[in-house]
Amino acid sequence: MAENTKVAKKPVITKSQIATIVFAVLLTTIIAHYDDFLPYRWQTFRAADGSFSMQFPGKPAASESPVQLAAGGTAVVDVITAQPRRDTVYTCSYFEDPRLASGTAEDALSSAREGSVSRVQGTVVNERNIEVDGYPAQDVEVRARGNSPMDMRLIAVGRRMFALMVIDTDRQQPDSKSIQKFFDSFKLLK
């Protein structure tokens, strides 16, 4: 007696089906992380008073706001920001304070650093003194609230203090090439 046995066939996946699956996975990954794959569109910002220019990775927006100074009193701070990705902000803020011209640049930079770090509830990781266009400056690496990296360049120009900052709330390692390009694009014009 012949037994009628059927052997179950395994489904066969074709090469084109594999290629379609791989393509779908890659496309999904790119869509989920599109900010990481697109280069920034750098735009030049020029201050309304013509005193400086710099480049931002995206369209910069300017605003003003009052801020309490660490040394006492308040100042109107001009703030220019660009947010090239939902989790990254590039900022240049500046204000004038006559007391900056009467003290030492080191004291002014130290006060600005301490004020900035306390506003983000951060901790200084590294700092170094530099010069920008012949003016005293500091580069400061900070770990802000939530362990977000914040890179900052402070520049004391007479009675004016500039603070260039990049905060990235998503990454543990900041985009150092873009940050350096942002910092290096700052140019005093007057």
- Report CA-CA distances (Å) from 170 to 22, 116, 123, 145, 148: 27, 20, 18, 12, 7
At 32-48, the pLDDT tens digits run 555 455 567 899 999 99
Q: What is the DSSP letter of 147?
A: G
Greatest Cα pair distance, the chain, in angstroms, is: 111
Distance CA 57, CA 82 (A): 7
At 127-137, the pLDDT tens digits run 999 999 999 99
Domains of the chain and any CATH numbers: 41-188 (3.40.1000.10)
At 103-158, the pLDDT tens digits run 788 888 888 888 888 888 788 889 999 999 999 999 999 888 777 888 999 999 98
Neighbours of 107 (CB within 10 A): 14
Neighbours of 34 (CB within 10 A): 10
